Amino acid sequence: MKLKNKIAIITGAASGIGREQAILFAAEGATVIAVDQSQEALEEVVADIKNRKGVAVAIALDLTNDTEVQSMVKDVISRYGRIDILANTAGLFDGFAKSLDTSSDLWNKLMNVNVRAVFILCNAVLPHMLERKSGSIINMASIGSYAAGAGGVAYTSSKHAVLGLTKQLTMDYAASGIRVNAVAPGLIETPLNKDFFQTANSGVDQVIAAIPAKRAGQPIEVAKASLFLASDDAAYINGTAIIIDGGVTATLI
């Protein structure tokens, strides 16, 4: 029960890594506010959590809409009195699109979801955490935060920005008791990249062959690292990212 009586907002909770975070955090004692776009998909996650004797509520919203985000945070504070943990897990992938193949619409879409939404939600939650001088924020970075090749130009740029945001928030607010960290996954089998795994000649075999661990990661492995960062076990960890990639970046940086 590492998160007993904690209130945790998790975005992207309808599937993949976010879903595993929601289930694991609830199993560890947190009340989970599961956030995503699809109410139906969120209700399935919440039902799963409740079947496991956990506590969770589903809130469907557009994370790029400032008003909706502010309203959600206000409702959580009104109902529970505080927010202890924020996991900014929602994200989009660009299918390895090169710069000349990336439209302005695709660029803006990834920046809005992968970066701007993280900024908006952090700013909505931070005043409440600062008031209590306590809180843990876990952002979704990537090995694409360190090197090219984990995605296309928009994805790689957005994940570099997420890591920069994580570091700057640490510099600004660590002295006030706020811990901001990130997880940086490599190749993880999630709905976000299902086309890569399912499409013939996608190169997935070659990618896995280049991973020292010789396999793709699973969402639960990222969720467990997130749990560590969210818990008091990581009380003196600030402004860093846990790389979860089977050893890929050990050969690159």
155 is catalytic: yes
Secondary-structure breakdown of the chain: helix, strand, coil percentages, each rounded to the nearest 5: 50, 15, 30
Per the CB < 8 A criterion, the answer to whether 28 and 223 are in contact is: no
Nearest one of 146, 155, 136, 157 to 239, comparing CA atoms: 136
Alpha helices in the chain (DSSP H): 16-27, 39-51, 66-80, 104-111, 117-132, 153-173, 194-198, 204-209, 219-230
Q: At what angle do helices 16-27 and 39-51 cross, to 10 degrees?
A: 30
Per the CB < 8 A criterion, the answer to whether 179 and 171 are in contact is: no
Angstrom distance (rounded) from CA 139 to CA 157: 15
| Choice among 80, 146, 155, 173 that is catalytic | 155
Residue entry with tokens 């989970």: 32
Nearest one of 25, 182, 19 to 115, comparing CA atoms: 182
Per the CB < 8 A criterion, the answer to whether 36 and 13 are in contact is: yes
Which residues on neighbouring strands pair with residue 139, listed in sequence order? 88, 182
- Positions annotated as catalytic residues are 155
